[in-house]
Chain A
Amino acid sequence: MRTLRMLAGPMLSAAIAGCGAAPFEYHPATEIPRGPGLFSGEGGALVLRVDTSGERDEFQRQKKTGERSPEYREFQEWREWREWKRRQGK
């Protein structure tokens, strides 16, 4: 109980004194450090991205069949218009 009082007192006092202070996420230094890694670069981890939404499968299917969605056709038209506009400006 004495231990609890000894630790809880300063902790609560300091926390109250710093009321309104921004919390920060404490990361134990005994764990793998956050931040960059030797191989993993700035991200700090080698990232494997798994697309579980099926978007990649849909892309591959459309690529194979030559089908294009209305949104894709509109995007391509916009890109062509932008290129045309750029040339008009010269």
Chain B
Amino acid sequence: MQKSKISLAIAAGAALLALNDAAIAQAQGLKVEVSGQVNRAIMNVNDGVQSNAFHVDTDTSSSRFRFAGSAPVNPGLRAGVLFEVEFQSNPSNEVTFATQDVSPTLLERHVDAFFEGRWGKLSLGQGDGAANGGVEVDLSGTTVAHYAGVSDIGGAFAFRGPGGVLSSATIASTIDRQDFESRYDRVRYDTPVFGGFRVAGSLGSKDNGRDVTELALWYSGDLGALGRLAGAIGYSDQDAAPGGIDDKVVGGSLSWLHTSGLNLTVGRTERDLLGREGKFNYVKAGYKFGRHAVSADFAGSDDQAAAGDEGRMVGVAYVFTPVAWAEVYAAFKRHSLDRPGTTFEDIDIALIGTRIKF
């Protein structure tokens, strides 16, 4: 509650400062942009006992549309909005053999108002926390097919234990990227960019009023002949649920794209869990050439669903971009889970799909 009050005070104070000029200039024309995308795929899953193909909306980058606009308020100050919703039929992270059809619903992603100037950017509303995406920085060109969010594809499928019996251990519960606190109602401040570096902080609440604090350092730089480098380091803290502990995550990612097209991406997070620490590691190596991009990745997790758990994922992917607004992709990956005293079947997932921007 205390943090919510602080958030409110920061938002009110900043808005007053921004609008304090006696004469607020009449906006000289508002530009509203409407854009969106459809991302559909066929996903084949084999859990060692059952195998089936599913028509899915790829949760890596769901089908969605947005309205975005901004206009000058006075010299040196712009105000704007971002309204974005997603509409997924059969999300790739929700379908299972038992639930093969998931009806689409319109879900909010961003309902955000902002002011920006030379002093930085202040956002208020539903939107990204300061560190959201900090584990997912990726310059490989194959993100749409596979990236650090390994549970976005087939996350709801459960591992089968001895005798082919379904367990409660799903891909999502055993190997999650732990990407901080995602999107929620918050006040967020981003500094201007200094030498490629930017600091962001946010205060807000989610999950029925549990306060959230996030802080992140972002970097992106063009190193000339060495190519491009981007990365982030973040920290998040969500107040404990009754009987639990504060949900604290620290981590980040780093991605390097050489001018030759070779690229390397790494990510890592640690999350405080009751009596243990959930860990996630990610490595991807790839090559971009012309309209093509290929990559192989590996992810490992420790102690996420239960103490002693070791989740593993290896995958390969190919993305073809025939025109600037369309990507066609194919990917294959294998998930495995080691738990002391139990043997689980591997889960194989193949995916072929396309993302078209409109």
Contact = CB atoms under 8 A, between A and B. Distances in A.
Interface of A: 1-4, 6-8, 10-11, 14-15, 17-19, 21-26, 28-33, 35-40, 44-54
Contacts of A31: 61
B223 interface: yes
Given A44-B35, A50-B31, 4 more contacts: A37-B325, A39-B358, A40-B35, A48-B32
A27 to B, nearest CB: 9
B30 A50 contact: yes
A29 B61 contact: yes
Contact of B37 (A21, A26, A32, A49): A32
Interface size grouping (class) on chain B? 35 or more
B49 interface: no
Contact of B32 (A17, A23, A50): A50
Contact of B27 (A14, A24, A28, A53): A53
Contacts of B219: 11, 15
A29 B270 contact: no
Interface stretch (B4-12, B252-260, B300-308): B252-260
A50 B45 CA distance: 49
Contact of B254 (A7, A40, A54): A7
Contacts of A45: 33-35, 68
Interface string B204-246: 0000000000000011111110101111010000000000000
Contact of B71 (A4, A28, A52): A52
Contacts of A21: 196, 221-224
B143 interface: yes
A18 B221 CA distance: 8
Interface string B20-59: 0000001111111111110000000000000000000000
A24 B221 contact: yes
B185 interface: no
Contacts of B268: 3, 6-7
Contact of B221 (A23, A35, A39): A23
Contact of B250 (A4, A35, A37): A4
Contacts of A51: 29
A51 B66 CA distance: 21
Given A37-B35, A53-B28, A3 B357 contact: no
B195 interface: yes
